[in-house]
Chain A
Amino acid sequence: MSDTLTSERRAAAPALTPRGAKAWRSPRGRVSFLFRPRTLVVGLALVAVSLAALVVSVSVGDYQIPISAVPAALMGFGERLDVFFVQGVRLPRALTAIGVGAALGIAGAVFQSLSRNALGSPDIIGFTSGAATGAVAAILLLGAGRLVVSLGAVAGGLITAGVVYLLAMKNGVQGYRLVLVGIGVSAMLASVRDYLMTRADLTDALGAQIWMIGSLNSRGWAEVGAVWIGLAVLAPVIFAVGRRLRFLELGEETARGLGVSAQSTQIIALAAASALTGAAIAVAGPIGFVALAAPQLARRLTRTGGTTLVGAALMGSALLVVADLVAMRLMAPTQLPVGVVTAVIGGSYLIWLLYTEWRGGRV
């Protein structure tokens, strides 16, 4: 009797796996996990795109380095100027782009998952808005340099996120209330920013505007360190609560029924994602649209139902490093702020995806 049951179950196993997933079992069945070939292929493709863009952006510029000379220059051999440009200027910039993109992608995925809203992004708890206002105030009121501006941004972002969370707290934090309070606080900060921008001198205002668009111009190894250390510390925390986030997407009551503590998961994920956003903003300014688009693009490419953290990270990296390459070269020698390009590329790509889905008649 029991034998038949087991064999039946074994036979039925493939049908029980989620749509498009394949099971991998080690020969003796000790280790097994599910994977989806499509997710794997998309992930590898995104890594390949990022690496290709990295190599190209290291080699092109007003000072051309042939791609064949790039590997040597990366290792520190070859002509002195090659090494200087690759190691001192272009590589750190590209690595910053990859790190910032990954940070924004992960943060966006967390916020969309927590708010259960496709429009969710770090903006909703006022973090981006607070950071932008802090930085604009530092630029326009203090005339500060880049380090102080970064500090102003992080301080503004953290204070705002804290205020929003406290204001939304009342017998626990309810996602819907958090979002609405975030909107209110963001709007107030935006009007402060508008005030400062319209009263400032034109040149200062333009500087502040460029910061708010987000730029990777002349970022060096210090920035690489800041964003990658942030990623190394915070990404594992978020991946660790990733599964619980998926449960939370089912609704707080269901999640609690499944043994997930909603409150603590929320706080951990919110804090870690905000800190990641903070690192990204401090390094590059509030580059728009990556946090919003990367999770959506990843999920449409992999055709998974839920939010994929790794996919969002890889998508964010690829998006930003490609965008920065375009920003450097499009109007050369004038360097566009990368935020201009992420918005145009990311937005067009999302439009194209929506359009093809529209043609295909899928939801």
Chain B
Amino acid sequence: MVLRAPTPTRPTLTRRVIRPIGLIIALGALAVCALLSVTVGAKPIPAADVWAALTDYDGSYDHDVIRSLRVPRTIIGVFVGAALGLAGALMQALTRNPLAEPGILGINSGAAAAVVVAVFVFGAGGAGLVWPAFIGAAFAAVAVYALGSRGRASATPVRLALAGTALAAVLQGLIYGVIVLNDFVFDRIRFWQVGSLTGRDLDIFFQVAPFLVIGVVVTLALGPSLNAMALGDDLAATLGAKIPLIRAATAVGVILLCGAATAAAGPIWFVGLIIPHAARVITGPDQRWLLPYAAVLGAVLLTAADTVGRVILPNSELEVGIITALVGAPLFIALVRSRKMAQL
């Protein structure tokens, strides 16, 4: 969309060396986490057996656990984490606000409202909540974007953030109203809204996979355009950036990624919020690097958290939504303290 993308500042030599190496290391970490996620659990299964289950399935109990439980769960974890990290980076670029996360666009509250309606009206549960969540997220996000756009011009950052917060508040209020009056809905919602990968199978993944794939492709291609946008609307327009188009494409990408992630795993807001900040420490503000980093680091955090959650309690599991914050937040705070944070 831009003829020649300007880089915000010329990166230092170390950063130019570190960025590709760091990305390889992060991918390596992701591979390790995925492997651990398949082998570790209530019943530890050695890596050799895992390999056998994938290549030479013999129908034994161990192999069944690997194929029907752990592999789907790991795949969903990787994709959901990547989608959330990527969408968070996009939201922060779109709104130019470090507090922005996909939820600002109304994703989580829209999904939650639709889930409440599905439970309240149809008594839905489990996999039946996937589509309501996705549709609710998409509706809310479109409404927020329309409200945040001024007239025929494109959405401005502050208005977008305010519109999202306002709509989220209204939906949250309505949700509270329903759950206060109805115990059954409250009981379903309190478990759904924690965010979890427990019991997710490949059917759920295949339902949301098309959206995830399109979202990842669209948004990774946006890096150069977002770099131009970071210079401010006027300068970006002078450089030939089509601002309304870029903003709309970013928003569509966020809706696809986050709608799908929330539909698959429930609202996990923390990943989208902190992963971009962590990635920015390594990459600096250059979106072409920031976006892939955010995706890989998001996937690392989510799969690692899910694995930890399976073994940390003796007899039960901790939901991944709980662990991401418990594990991620101290690391994040240490990071914030140790560096001068790269501002948006």
B206 CB–A CB distance under 8 Å? no
Q: Is the CB of B325 within 8 A of A198?
A: no
A119 CB–B CB distance under 8 Å? yes
Nearest residue (CB) in B for A296 is: B162
Q: Is the CB of A180 within 8 A of B277?
A: yes
Q: Is the CB of B341 within 8 A of A185?
A: no
B98 CB–A CB distance under 8 Å? yes
Instruction: Report which residue of A337, A342, A344 has the largest number of chain B beta carbons within 10 angstroms of its beta carbon.
Output: A344
B179 CB–A CB distance under 8 Å? yes
Nearest residue (CB) in B for A120 is: B99
Q: Which stretch (A39-47, A70-78, A187-195, A273-281) binds chain B?
A: A187-195
Residues 28-53 of B contacting A (Cβ, < 8 Å) = none
Size of A's binding interface in residues, CB under 8 A: 57
Q: Is the CB of A194 within 8 A of B273?
A: no
Identify B179's interface contact among A168, A209, A288, A354, CB under 8 A.
A209
A336 CB–B CB distance under 8 Å? yes
Q: Is the CB of B97 within 8 A of A117?
A: yes
Identify B273's interface contact among A117, A183, A363, CB under 8 A.
A183
Size of B's binding interface in residues, CB under 8 A: 57
Q: Is the CB of A176 within 8 A of B341?
A: yes
A118 CB–B CB distance under 8 Å? yes
Identify A354's interface contact among B99, B163, B333, CB under 8 A.
B163
Q: Is the CB of B333 within 8 A of A213?
A: no
Identify B163's interface contact among A187, A192, A351, CB under 8 A.
A351
A346 CB–B CB distance under 8 Å? yes
B13 CB–A CB distance under 8 Å? no
B110 CB–A CB distance under 8 Å? no
Q: Is the CB of A187 within 8 A of B328?
A: yes
Provide the residues of chain B in CB contact with A176, threshold 8 Å: 98, 341, 343
Provide the residues of chain A in CB contact with B270, threshold 8 Å: 187, 191
Provide the residues of chain A in CB contact with B65, threshold 8 Å: none
Count of A-B residue pairs with CB < 8 Å: 166
Identify B321's interface contact among A179, A194, A348, CB under 8 A.
A194
Tell me, in angstroms, the Cα distance from A210 to B329 when the chains sit together: 27
Q: Is the CB of A194 within 8 A of B322?
A: yes
B10 CB–A CB distance under 8 Å? no
A226 CB–B CB distance under 8 Å? no
Residues 307-363 of A contacting B (Cβ, < 8 Å) = 331, 334, 336-337, 339-344, 346-348, 350-351, 354-355, 357-359, 361, 363
Q: Indicate with 1 or 0, residue by residue over A116-130, a CB within 8 angstroms of chain B CB atoms.
A: 011100001000000
Tell me, in angstroms, the Cα distance from A334 to B170 when the chains sit together: 20
B159 CB–A CB distance under 8 Å? yes
- Main secondary structure, interface of A, reads helix
Q: Indicate with 1 or 0, residue by residue over A139-182, a CB within 8 angstroms of chain B CB atoms.
A: 00000000000000000000000000001101000001101110
Tell me, in angstroms, the Cα distance from A292 to B172 when the chains sit together: 15
Tell me, in angstroms, the Cα distance from A205 to B190 when the chains sit together: 9
Provide the residues of chain B in CB contact with A339, threshold 8 Å: 173, 176
Provide the residues of chain B in CB contact with A344, threshold 8 Å: 169-170, 173-174, 177
How far apart are B331's CB and chain A's nearest CB, in angstroms? Answer: 9
How far apart are B183's CB and chain A's nearest CB, in angstroms? Answer: 6
Tell me, in angstroms, the Cα distance from A223 to B326 when the chains sit together: 35
Also in contact, A202 and B322, with CB within 8 A (given A210-B180, A351-B147)? no
Tell me, in angstroms, the Cα distance from A341 to B170 when the chains sit together: 9
Tell me, in angstroms, the Cα distance from A239 to B23 when the chains sit together: 50
6 closest Cβ pairs, A-B complex? A343-B173, A347-B169, A347-B170, A344-B173, A350-B166, A191-B325
Give B contacts to A, CB under 8 Å.
Answer: 97-99, 104, 147-151, 156, 158-159, 161-163, 165-170, 172-174, 176-177, 179-181, 183, 186-187, 190-191, 193-194, 270, 273-274, 277, 318-319, 321-326, 328-330, 332-333, 336-337, 341, 343
Give A contacts to B, CB under 8 Å.
Answer: 117-119, 124, 167-168, 170, 176-177, 179-181, 183-185, 187-188, 190-192, 194-195, 197-198, 202, 205-206, 209-210, 213, 288-289, 292-293, 296, 331, 334, 336-337, 339-344, 346-348, 350-351, 354-355, 357-359, 361, 363
Contacts A192-B326, A206-B180 known; 10 new A-B pairs at CB < 8 A = A119-B161, A167-B333, A181-B336, A183-B332, A188-B325, A289-B169, A292-B165, A347-B170, A357-B150, A361-B150
> Can you name 24 A-B pairs with beta carbons within 8 Å?
A167-B337, A176-B343, A181-B333, A181-B336, A187-B328, A188-B330, A198-B191, A202-B186, A205-B186, A205-B190, A213-B176, A296-B162, A331-B181, A334-B181, A343-B173, A344-B170, A344-B177, A346-B169, A347-B169, A350-B165, A358-B149, A361-B151, A363-B156, A363-B159
